Amino acid sequence: MALSRAEKLINKLISNELSAEELSELLEGITSEGDQQKYSDILETYFNKLLKEEEKQEK
């Protein structure tokens, strides 16, 4: 399944590969009422994945 634009931008942000133009686009999406939930869902999924990985390492 292809990644959405929001997912691509967040992945680039996390990997420190985001350009200034892409950062502006990401910030517009985060502040846009229509897109806020999409970004929130993607970030929640990412942080839940991190928590699961951390739990596995602690065992």
Report residue 58's pLDDT band, with 50, 70 and 90 as the boundaries: confident
- Higher-pLDDT residue of 13 and 58 is 13
* Mean of per-residue pLDDT scores for the chain: 92
CB 47 within 8 A of CB 10: no
The residue among 46, 27, 29 whose CA lies nearest residue 37 is: 29
Q: Look at residue 53 in the predicted model and tell me its pLDDT.
A: 93
Please give the model's pTM, rounded to 2 decimal places: 0.79
d(CA 58, CA 39): 29
Q: For residues 29-42, give the mean pLDDT.
A: 90
Q: For residues 23-31, give the mean pLDDT.
A: 93
- Higher-pLDDT residue of 27 and 3 is 27
